């Protein structure tokens, strides 16, 4: 029988207010007392919000929250992409068998998750058959050699915002419904040439500018660990299908955390590369060169071993030479820094206690296993990361978001759309309408924007000097575990931890760290200086060894030995 407590997420804070604090007549004593009262009120508000949204989920979804995605029965699903590529090429596995396994898995979970929004299963099976025939014949053209096609036969899913031939490319905008791509985005073309077999495209937030993936073209995507909860955005469908074991590697893009937050909420790996390494073209909304300092197109994977080869393929001739992926990394010789567990960012929730504990465990693991020191540092400018992000976005955005809402056609009036939305008549989501309403506010305060951009420049210089060429920075991926659906409306600024590395133009890797007491994914980010992506990827592989990496949702029948073999 269901208990109401099964649907509600309530954890009361352990906060103690000493009477002596309130009794104190000194200003400092009163200040301390008021700050503690403020902490209590915020914690109680957080409990109330969790209760309300949990209860809403119970009313709206009935017993649906108890639905679990089915366990994985096919051991192929627990192989990394790198392992699959080796076994397909050596004929230990047939490409058709691998592709069929993933198609079956998507069919098993997608009704619950709504992650893959358009399939190309028939085409994928035809491509797999061709690969098997070619490899069986022994007559393999040079373009399909291991050097040129390192992921030959490996299944792939792609964020719907990217152009994929004969697949939709709406970015969740109703005005683009029915629009099909006639070409591949450059990074999709690179992955095809590398031998990947595309299974379909995955859901996004409307116009890729919100951190819940829901729109009026495809609907809402549900978290594989708890379908009451969000998958993140804008690459939320991609993170979801990876976390639910319906894909092994995927493509995302990230301008404020759109790779790393979905990777965190769904318990997988995600990497935002250094700027100018991977081409951002071929996606909608269009990624102009002005955004290249912030926007990163990068890999999302279940296994850390696949991040580097995917990044190589995606960068291709465009940006691979800027990276140092061939440089050996001795983790014992790196300098380690940690921030976030003792810093409060403006307008951002306090860090969840379990995430604090996970970050502390990361520090302990690195110090114990590598014999290094993880130095705690405070970056005071970090608290202004959101203000700087909005100012930089305002400064570089030449294309109006309101024009994008209208698909550069008839003008859209956000306030009128807000009225229509109240009566269920608008085709736009509330986040898109709200963003349209506030667009351009920073341009009304040019002096403030100028000051923030100057502060950002000093922030960049500070962090670059701290990290140098051998430093890595450990930081939360998000302050809260995966929230309930719609809860981001109450926490709209909680993307500050990921946005910080977009404005700093630094590479950052989200690393899963197992599951919380509620069975929700834990994780942290690892960042480094520009073009030092190889350092964050090496640390990600090490933390996967220490914490297990991707952990299957409860009830999925984890085959630990099979997973460990695939990571080798």
Rounded Cα gap, residues 408 and 399, in angstroms: 10
Q: What is the mean pLDDT of residues 191-205?
A: 98
Q: Is residue 57's pLDDT more than 70?
A: no
Tokens (6 digits) for 513: 């760290």
Q: Is residue 337's pLDDT more than 60?
A: yes
Rounded Cα gap, residues 103 and 126, in angstroms: 13
CATH classification (class only), 67-389+445-553: alpha beta
**What confidence tens digit (pLDDT) does each residue in 219-234 have?**
999 999 999 999 999 9
- Which pLDDT score, from 0 to 100, does residue 52 have? 60
Q: What is the mean pLDDT of residues 201-216?
A: 97
Q: What is the mean pLDDT of the chain?
A: 89
- The domains of the chain are located at 4-65, 67-389+445-553, 390-441
Q: What is the mean pLDDT of residues 262-278?
A: 98
Rounded Cα gap, residues 556 and 518, in angstroms: 15
Q: Is residue 58's pLDDT more than 60?
A: no
Q: What is the mean pLDDT of residues 196-200?
A: 98
- Which pLDDT score, from 0 to 100, does residue 48 have? 63
CB 540 within 8 A of CB 501: no
Rounded Cα gap, residues 460 and 450, in angstroms: 15
Tell the burial category of 139 from Cβ atoms under 10 Å away from its Cβ (0-12, 13-18, 19+): exposed
Q: Is residue 67's pLDDT more than 90?
A: no
Tokens (6 digits) for 186: 């450059």
Q: Is residue 68's pLDDT more than 90?
A: no
Omega within 30 of 0 (cis) for the link into 448 = no
Q: Is residue 9's pLDDT more than 60?
A: no
Angle at 245 between CA 50 and CA 304, to 5 degrees: 95
Cα torsion through 338, 344, 346, 347, rounded to 10: 120
Please enumerate in sequence order all residues whose Cβ is within 8 A of that of 238, keeping only pairs 6 or more positions apart, or say none. Answer: 115, 157, 158, 159, 202, 247, 250, 251, 252, 262, 300
CB 215 within 8 A of CB 173: yes
Q: Are strands 335-338 and 471-476 parallel, antiparallel or unpaired?
A: parallel
**What confidence tens digit (pLDDT) does each residue in 486-524 have?**
999 999 999 999 999 999 999 999 999 999 999 999 999
CB 348 within 8 A of CB 494: yes
Query: 78-91 burial, b for 16+ CB within 10 Å, e for fewer?
Result: bbbbbbbbbbbbee
Q: What is the mean pLDDT of residues 57-78?
A: 72
CB 183 within 8 A of CB 461: no
Residue numbers annotated as active site: 159, 234, 258
Q: Are strands 335-338 and 269-272 parallel, antiparallel or unpaired?
A: unpaired
- Which pLDDT score, from 0 to 100, does residue 183 have? 97
Tokens (6 digits) for 408: 């550069």
CB 91 within 8 A of CB 155: no
């Amino acid at each position: 029988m269901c208990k109401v407590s099964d649907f509600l997420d309530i954890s009361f804070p352990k906060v103690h207010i000493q009477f002596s604090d309130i009794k104190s007549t000194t200003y400092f004593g009163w200040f301390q007392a008021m700050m503690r009262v403020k902490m209590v009120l915020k914690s109680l508000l957080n409990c109330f919000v969790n209760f309300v949204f949990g209860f809403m989920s119970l009313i709206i979804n009935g017993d649906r929250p108890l639905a679990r995605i089915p366990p994985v029965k096919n051991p192929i699903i627990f192989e990394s992409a790198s392992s699959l590529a080796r076994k397909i090429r050596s004929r230990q596995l047939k490409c058709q068998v691998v592709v069929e396994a993933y198609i079956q898995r998507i069919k098993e979970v997608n009704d619950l998750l709504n992650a893959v929004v358009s399939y190309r299963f028939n085409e994928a099976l035809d491509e797999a058959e061709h690969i098997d025939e070619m490899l069986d014949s022994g007559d393999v053209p040079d373009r399909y050699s291991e050097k040129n096609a390192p992921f030959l036969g490996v299944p792939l899913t792609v964020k719907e915002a990217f152009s994929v031939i004969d697949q939709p490319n709406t970015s969740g905008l109703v005005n683009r419904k029915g629009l099909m791509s006639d070409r591949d985005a450059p990074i999709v073309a690179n992955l095809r040439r590398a031998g990947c077999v595309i299974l379909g495209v995955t859901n996004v937030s409307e116009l890729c500018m919100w951190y819940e993936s829901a729109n009026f073209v495809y609907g809402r995507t549900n978290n594989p660990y708890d379908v009451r909860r969000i998958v993140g955005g804008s690459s939320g469908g991609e993170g979801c299908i990876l976390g639910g074991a319906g894909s092994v590697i995927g493509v995302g893009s990230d301008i404020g955390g759109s790779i790393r937050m979905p990777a965190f909420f769904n318990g997988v790996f995600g990497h935002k590369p250094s700027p100018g390494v991977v081409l951002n073209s071929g996606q909608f909304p269009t990624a102009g060169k002005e955004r290249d300092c912030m926007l990163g197109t990068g890999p999302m994977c279940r296994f850390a071993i696949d991040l580097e080869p995917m990044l190589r393929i995606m960068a291709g001739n465009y940006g691979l030479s800027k990276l140092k992926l061939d440089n050996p990394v001795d983790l014992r010789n790196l300098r380690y820094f940690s921030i976030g567990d003792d810093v409060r960012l403006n307008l951002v929730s306090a860090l969840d206690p379990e995430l604090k504990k996970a970050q502390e465990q990361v520090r302990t693991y690195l110090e114990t296993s590598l014999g290094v020191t993880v130095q705690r540092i405070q970056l005071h400018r970090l608290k202004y990361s959101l203000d700087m992000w909005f100012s930089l976005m305002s400064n570089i955005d030449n294309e109006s978001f309101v024009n994008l809402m209208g698909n550069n056609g008839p003008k859209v009036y956000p306030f009128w759309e807000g009225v229509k939305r109240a009566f269920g008549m608008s085709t736009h989501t509330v986040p898109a309408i709200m963003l349209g309403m506030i667009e351009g506010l920073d341009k009304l305060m040019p002096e403030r924007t100028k000051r923030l951009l100057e502060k950002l420049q000093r922030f960049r210089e500070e962090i670059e000097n701290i990290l140098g060429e051998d430093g890595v920075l450990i930081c939360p991926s998000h302050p809260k575990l995966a929230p309930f659906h719609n809860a981001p409306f109450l926490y709209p600024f909680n993307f500050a931890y990921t946005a910080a590395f977009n404005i700093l133009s630094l590479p950052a890797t989200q690393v899963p760290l197992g599951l919380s007491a509620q069975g929700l994914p834990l994780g942290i980010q690892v960042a480094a200086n520009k073009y030092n992506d190889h350092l964050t990827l090496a640390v990600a592989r090490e933390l996967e060894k220490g914490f297990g990496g991707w952990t299957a949702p409860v009830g999925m029948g984890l085959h630990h030995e099979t997973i460990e073999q695939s990571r080798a």
